[in-house]
A and B are shown apart, each in its own frame.
Chain A
């Protein structure tokens, strides 16, 4: 079955550590996204990528980094520079932006907690 897989589902980070969240899709989508969701809040865009080896900062990119070496994968690293990383992180992918039907498909999310 096609879809997006995020791992792990739960992640705990110590102060000062970097952690990497995985996102893999087998939908053959060109575009991939990372969003952050805080309790009772909407989704805020961290980074997005429209094509392999290219990505753009979203609204809250500070303290995060990404790579897009393969079409299927878009890992997110939460660095020690991110002062308040505890949140629910969602990865999404969508069809190429040249098509009108550009709905996004989401993974199940990773809940990151700083301990």
Chain B
């Protein structure tokens, strides 16, 4: 079945360091890919998305490129801030017309940025 695999955390970085959080997926067809962020005690917020191969999603300095050849959607940011500390989830959806349509999440990666 479909699945999403993320690198285990926590990831601890100093402010202004470069961030990479790895995400790979298994799915048939051409899924849409997402990164969500969860701040403590809150729900999830969409951070960025990509709906087809080679698309690059970007938002708030974060970027991720849909790589079909490596089935990956790694999240990157050039200079993290303390306020970026949160849990990050990679997710996918099946193609829109699929009868088993639903969101599938990875296990999440906790990011802690120190001043």
Give A residues with C-beta under 8 Å from B. 4, 6, 31, 33, 35, 40-43, 45, 48, 50, 56, 58, 90, 92, 94, 97-109
Contact = CB atoms under 8 A, between A and B. Distances in A.
A6 B62 CA distance: 28
A42 B96 contact: no
Contacts of A40: 110
Interface in B45-93: 45-46, 49, 51, 89, 93
A31 B98 CA distance: 14
Interface of B: 32, 34, 36, 41-46, 49, 51, 89, 93, 96-98, 101-108, 110
B106 A103 contact: no
A41 B107 contact: yes
Contact of A106 (B32, B41, B44, B51): B44
A42 B89 contact: yes
A50 B101 contact: yes
B89 A102 contact: no
Contacts of A43: 44, 89, 105, 108
Contacts of B107: 41-42
Contacts of A50: 101
Nearest to A90: B43
Contact of B106 (A42, A58, A109): A42
Contacts of B41: 109
B108 A97 contact: no
